[in-house]
Amino acid sequence: MKEVEGFGIPSPFFMKDNKLMRLNEKDNEEEFISRQIPYVTKCFDDIEKNNVQYELKWFNDGKVYSEVVPAIALATKREVIALANKGLSSNDRNARHLIEYFDLFLEKNKLKRSVVVSHLGYVGNHFIHPLIESKFRIVPPDEGEIQRLKAIKCSGTVEDWITNVLEPLYDNPKALFPIMASFASVLFKEFDLSPIIVDISGISSSGKTTVQKVCASVWGKPSGYISSMLTTKVAIERIASFLNAFPLILDDTNTAHDKKALQQIIYLFGNGTGKMRGSLDGSRGTSSWQSVFITTGENNILEYTNSQGSAARVIPITNFKFINKTADYFTLLNQNVELYYGSIGLEFIKRWGESFRAI
């Protein structure tokens, strides 16, 4: 396999039979280093965290692998070995040589530098949406965030969404409120508002989850955007931080691991900041968000807490139900939210930006 165009393998390393080799200068013998040849192809500056990340590429069985990794992943033995989890041929035997290789590679090759962010929403005066052209590249920190990023996309037109998704709900004000809250979530930063929770509660099979899907369809594909409350406080914090200004939408408070933890979740989200945590190098950066959290459940989420402080953070929509709607109505609406999504939210952001700049 040929070298990646524009990049050279630094001496004393070289390619042989599509493997990474090294010339031992002491005895002039060839050493096998790795069955794959990694290339560092791009450099990313994270302007918020003030650190550097690299795009790493390698080939295996004709397939191209690409990972964005922090700079430390190329500089310490433990982190280099951990790249084996990504499919790179790194191990305890060759880690030291790979570190040497990466360092020499960066010295030999001039990399294109880009600016990256680890979340959506606001970065200074910029609003980050994956479908809006920007100088920033979005690099999600983990799988849960990657799932949300992939879900934020468009299908169908604005008119398709209004006709097939929104109009069938015009006669239900309780359904329209959380949908409007989903739109409003991206404006909280502009008006310096504290995060709120919109909780939809009612008997089983009353249409709560369907409305929640409509809320998600404002921004992307509901089946990828929504997840269950069967999760942890740390996971909620991470996803809220990644979404930043976009609404956090989790289904069914009844599935929560610990009902007592719901009070802590209300406080956590309502405060708009994550928990401060320590690290070997000192305290880590604290995550933050200003957005809306849309939940559903058979019981009002405030029933799980006796704190007045919790009530101030929640807008409860209780006894939710649709009246005189057939099974076909719900079937069609659930189908439509998976066909028409994302375009309306993108249009909303564009029009708001135009109006805001005109003020």
In the chain, the number of structural domains is 2
Largest pairwise CA distance in the chain: 86
Domain-located, residue 4: no
Range of the domain at 184: 142-358
Q: 124 lies in a domain?
A: no
Q: Is residue 3 part of a domain?
A: no
Joined tokens for residue 107: 């010295």
Mean pLDDT on 317-343: 96
Contact 273, 223 (CB under 8 A): no
Residue 146 and residue 110 share a domain: no
| Buried b or exposed e, range 283-303, using 16+ CB within 10 angstroms | eeeebebbbbbbbbbeebbbe
Mean pLDDT of 79-91: 94
Shared domain check, 310 and 241:
yes
Q: What is the pLDDT of residue 51?
A: 87
Total-model pTM: 0.80
Tell me the average pLDDT across 97-103: 97
Q: Which of 100, 117, 134 is the last residue of a domain?
A: 117
- The percentage of the chain sitting over the pLDDT mark of 90, rounded to a whole number, equals 67
Q: What does the alpha-carbon distance between residue 270 and residue 274 come to, in Å, rounded to a whole number?
A: 10
Share of the chain above pLDDT 70, in %: 92
Q: For position 233, what pLDDT does the model report?
A: 86
pLDDT band at 307 (very low <50, low <70, confident <90, very high): low
Confidence of residue 3 (pLDDT cuts 50, 70, 90): low
Examine residue 303 and state whether it is found in any structural domain, yes or no: yes
Residue 222 and residue 319 in one domain: yes
Same domain membership, residue 112 and residue 27: yes
95 and 198 assigned to the same domain: no
Domain identity same for 170 and 316 = yes
Q: Which residues sit opposite 294 in a β-bridge?
A: 198, 249
pLDDT in the model for residue 282: 39
Residue 329 lies in a domain: yes
What pLDDT is stored for residue 187 in this prediction?
95
Instruction: Judge if 113 and 156 occupy the same domain.
Output: no
Give residue 4's pLDDT.
65
Task: Tell me whether residue 75 is in a domain.
Answer: yes
Is 70 exceeded by the pLDDT of residue 262?
yes
- Residue ending a domain, choose from 117, 134, 156: 117
Asked, for residue 57, whether it belongs to a domain, the answer is yes
Residue 165: CATH number of its domain: 3.40.50
In terms of domains, do 107 and 256 share one? no
Give yes or no: residues 181 and 60 share one domain: no
Would residue 105 count as lying in a domain? yes
Q: Are strands 39-46 and 51-60 parallel, antiparallel or unpaired?
A: antiparallel
Question: Are both 151 and 247 inside the same structural domain?
Answer: yes
- Of 117, 133, 163, the position where a domain reaches its end is 117
Question: Same structural domain for residues 287 and 176?
Answer: yes
| pLDDT tens figures, 224-240 | 999 988 888 888 999 99
Confidence of residue 178 (pLDDT cuts 50, 70, 90): very high
Q: Is the pLDDT of residue 339 over 90?
A: yes
**Beta carbons of 221 and 338 less than 8 angstroms apart:** yes
Q: Supply the pLDDT for residue 2.
A: 47
Judged against a pLDDT cut of 90, whether residue 142 lies above it is answered with: no
Give the CA radius of gyration of the chain: 25
> Of all residues in the chain, what percent are helix, strand and coil, respectively (each to 5)?
40, 25, 35
- Cβ 10 vs Cβ 108: under 8 Å: yes
User: Looking at the structure, do residues 310 and 236 belong to the same domain, yes or no?
Assistant: yes
